[in-house]
Amino acid sequence: MKVILIGHTQLSRKFREILKEEFGEEVFTDGQAIALTAIRTCYSPNKPSEIIPKEGAKYFGSKATDGQGGTEADRLIRMIFASKHTSTLEGITFNFAVEGVSRALLAQLTRHRAGFSFSVQSQRYVKFGSGDRSEGFDYVVPDSIVNGDTYRVRECINGEVDEFKSKEIFDEVVEYLQRAYDDLRDVGIPAEDARAILPNAAATNLVMTVNLRALLDFYAKRKVGRGAQSEITQLAERLREEVVAVEPWVNQFFEEA
């Protein structure tokens, strides 16, 4: 699995010039500026473009009065998060390249619909034959199978029993499915129909766009300890790492999710 942050919401050049002219040096991330502008617009007599120029010193220039660290802006965002007024965080979006995940994970991931959009590698238009540019389909093996013990699963004609590790059983089935896919394509079956035999383990790639509110909700449901499958908990942690790298202030909300 590979997760890369392609891009995320940033202040426009015009809005940044307004802030620089009227507020001076930036002491906040783009995400914090967007969050504060949205939050205070709901409660302030000032116009959105005036929030940071007129109120920025108060929120970004003062220590948090709730004793939890950071600035007054951090305190305000914490209060909004606690009160569930998190629609104000929907304006902050992140675009990810997600590579080498299973179709089983994709089925789980796309159950998260509000605030998400997906562009997924097609098994209809991308051909996964051994002789195609893809050189066959990649696949993801669950951790429990990779680490599985030896199993006595096959009795021979002479009465002896062969022992196989779970990974060996898994690989054998996947190799058979690859040969079957190739055979179907060789006799003229179109890729859109041959794909019907590809397993849930078949790997895929996607571009995912999600706003901060939806991402925090996803993380709360899919993080370790919430009963989610291992692969999607790994995805949840990778997404968190990518977001926190560019918007460090968000980490506290992942911890509380």
* pLDDT tens digit sequence for 57-79: 999 999 999 999 899 999 999 99
Q: Let me know whether 8 and 91 are in one domain.
A: yes
Residue 84 and residue 7 in one domain: yes
Residues 219 and 183 in one domain: no
Say what the pLDDT of residue 157 is. 64
Of the candidates 214, 217, 219, the one whose C-alpha atom is nearest the C-alpha of residue 239 is: 219
In a shared domain, residues 62 and 21: yes
Query: Can you give the pLDDT at residue 148?
Result: 80
User: Pick from 157, 180, 201: which residue ends a domain?
Assistant: 201
pLDDT for position 212:
97
Backbone angles phi, psi at 166, to 5 degrees: -60, -35
Q: How many domains does the chain have?
A: 2
User: Does any domain span residue 192?
Assistant: yes
For residue 35, the domain's CATH number is: 3.30.1360
- The C-alpha atoms of residue 15 and residue 253 are separated, in whole angstroms, by 27
Picking from 169, 185, 201, the residue at the C-terminal end of a domain is 201
Is there a single domain that holds both residue 160 and residue 237?
Answer: no
Q: What is the pLDDT of residue 63?
A: 93
Residues labelled as active-site residues: 222
**% of residues, the chain, pLDDT over 90:** 82
Q: Are residues 30 and 80 in the same domain?
A: yes
Is 193 domain-assigned? Answer: yes
Segments forming the whole domain that contains residue 25: 2-95+206-256
- Between CA 152 and CA 141 the distance in angstroms is 20
Residue 111 domain-assigned (yes or no): no
- Report helix, strand and coil shares of the chain as percent, to nearest 5: 50, 20, 30
Q: Are residues 7 and 89 in the same domain?
A: yes
Same domain, 133 and 7: no
Residue 76 and residue 39 share a domain: yes
Residues in the chain with pLDDT values less than 70 = 150, 152-157, 159
Residues 77 and 135 in one domain: no
Say if residue 177 is in the same domain as residue 197: yes
